[in-house]
Structure 1
Amino acid sequence: MVSLDKGRSISNIVRRSPTANSRLVYAQTAIKHKEYFDYVLSFFTPYCANDYIPQSRLVVDNRTKKTYSAISFTTMQLPCFNIYRELFYDANKKKIVPENIRELLTPRGLAFWIQDDGSKHGSGLHLSVYGFSNADVDKLMFTLQDKFNLRCSIHYNRDNKPRIYIFKESMDSLITLVKPYFIKEMLYKLGL
Structure 2
Amino acid sequence: MRKKSKNYMVPQTNNALAPLNREQRDAILGLMLGDGHLETQTGGNSYRLLVEGSLKHKPYIDHLYAIFEAFVTTPPREIVKSKGVNYGFKTLVHPGFRFYAKKFYKIDDAGRNIKGIPKDIHKFLNDRVLAYWYQDDGAKKGAGRSGKRIHTEGFTQADVRLLAAVLTEYGIKTTVNRQGHRINRTTGPNSTPPLATGQGGQEADPNYYILNITAEGDRALTPRILPYVIEHFYYKYNFLLLCFFSASTKKRGCVETRF
TM range (shorter): 0.7 to 0.9
Matched, 1:80 2:127: no
Hey, which of these two has a bigger chunk of helix by percent? 1
Q: Which residue number corresponds to residue 155 of structure 1?
A: 177
Q: Is the 8 A contact 2:156 2:208 kept in 1?
A: no
Rounded to whole Å, the distance in 1 between the matches of 2:79 and 2:131 is: 27
Alpha carbons 1:27, 1:73 under 8 Å: kept: yes
2:50 aligned residue: 25
Cα distance in 1 between the residues matched to 2:72 and 2:157: 34
Give the aligned residue type for 2:213. I
Q: Which residue of structure 2 aligns with residue 144 of structure 1?
A: 167
Please report how far the alpha carbon of residue 59 of structure 1 lies from its aligned counterpart in structure 2 after TM superposition. Answer: 3.8
Identity of aligned residues (%): 27
Q: CA deviation at 1:40?
A: 1.2
Residue 137 (structure 2) pairs with residue 117 (structure 1)? yes
Distance 1:157 1:120 in 2: 17
Query: Could you say which structure has the higher strand fraction?
Result: 2
Q: State which of 16, 23, 31 in structure 2 corresponds to 1:8.
A: 31
Letter in 2 for 1:139: L
Spell out, residue by residue over 1:43-98, the C-alpha distance to the aligned partner (whole angstroms, 9 max, x if none): 1111112xx032323445xxxxxx33211211111211111101111134211111
**What displacement does 1:7 show?**
0.6
Q: Secondary structure at the match of 1:111?
A: helix
Match of 1:167 in 2: 214
**Matched residue, 1:90:** 106
Greater shift in the superposed pair: 13-22 or 152-161: 152-161
Deviations 1:13-36 (A, max 9, x none): 21221122101111112x332111
Q: Which residue of structure 2 aligns with residue 106 of structure 1?
A: 126
Alignment deviations for residues 90-145 of structure 1 (CA, whole Å, 9 cap, x no partner): 13421111111011111101101111101111311110112211111111111111
Which whole-Å CA distance do the structure 2 matches of 1:184 and 1:177 have between them?
15
| Residue 55 in structure 1 maps to residue 55 in structure 2 | no
Q: Is the 8 A contact 2:156 2:209 kept in 1?
A: no
1:137 partner letter:
V
Partner of 1:35, secondary structure, is helix
Deviation of the 1:169 alpha carbon: 2.0
Aligned equivalents of 2:178 and 2:72: distance in 1? 37
Is the Cα–Cα contact under 8 Å of residues 124 and 168 in structure 1 kept in the other structure? yes
User: CA offset at residue 190 of structure 1?
Assistant: 2.3
Distance 2:72 2:140 in 1: 32
- Stretches of structure 2 lacking an aligned partner (at least 5 in a row): 1-23, 182-206, 240-259
Compute the RMSD of aligned alpha carbons: 1.6
- Distance in 2, matches of 1:95 and 1:55, equals 26
Bigger radius of gyration, 1 or 2?
2
Q: If the length of structure 1 is used for normalisation, what is the TM-score?
A: 0.88
Secondary structure of the residue aligned to 2:96 is helix
Is the 1:55–1:71 contact (alpha carbons within 8 Å) kept by the matching residues of 2? yes
Q: Provide the C-alpha distance between the structure 2 equivalents of 1:72 and 1:185, rounded to a whole number of angstroms.
A: 16
Contact 2:62 2:76 in 1 (8 A): no
Deviation at 1:186, TM superposition (A): 0.8
Contact conserved, 1:12 with 1:27, CA < 8 A, in 2? no
Contact 1:12 1:26 in 2 (8 A): no
The answer on whether the counterparts of 1:114 and 1:189 sit within 8 Å (CA) in structure 2 is no
Query: Given residue 42 of structure 1, which amino acid in structure 2 is its aligned partner?
Result: A
Name stretches of at least 5 consecutive residues in structure 1 with no aligned partner: 61-66
